[in-house]
Amino acid sequence: MERTLIIIKPDGVERGLNGPIITRFEQRGLKIVGMKMLHVSDKLARMHYAVHEGKSFFEPLIQYITSAPVVAFALEGPQAVQAARNTIGATKPVEAAAGSIRGDFAMMVGRNLVHGSDSPENGAAEIALWFNESELISYDRALDRWILE
């Protein structure tokens, strides 16, 4: 089983899209194993987006992600990273498929609603950055027999 980090960014929270976004992942069959709402600190934002440091959009990105609350959650499932990224849609919302979160709810790359880890390795690293081990729960769902082979 893989785990991936999902963040509903400030634009998603401010637009009241938490429920519809979370529902997409649950309907897909991914299991939530940790979730919290928080104001992202400058320190956490800089650690999370460190790969972009020095790029022209880095400081505006830090200002944006710290501007309002976010909802962060860890998802678990087989090939969770790819399943989540397909559910989210292309980074540029105008290129995202209809039926994806970005394809249905977003217009611009700078307000694309959701972050999703881009690899299983980054998923594990990002979850460790955003969650303490005690905030993650392992459990069996009765419905998994109807989702997983």
Q: Establish whether 48 is a catalytic residue.
A: no
Q: Are 123 and 20 in contact (CB under 8 A)?
A: no
The closest of 97, 135, 101 to 22, measured between CA atoms, is 101
How many whole angstroms from its chain centre is CA 129? Answer: 13
**What does the alpha-carbon distance between residue 6 and residue 77 come to, in Å, rounded to a whole number?**
13
Q: Residue 113 belongs to what H/E stretch?
A: none
Helix, strand, coil shares of the chain as percentages rounded to 5?
A: 45, 20, 35
The active-site residue out of 39, 48, 52, 115 is: 115
Question: Rounded to the nearest 5 degrees, what angle is found at the Cα of 130, between the Cα atoms of 128 and 131?
Answer: 65
Tally of CB atoms within 10 A around 53: 11
Active site (catalytic) residues:
115
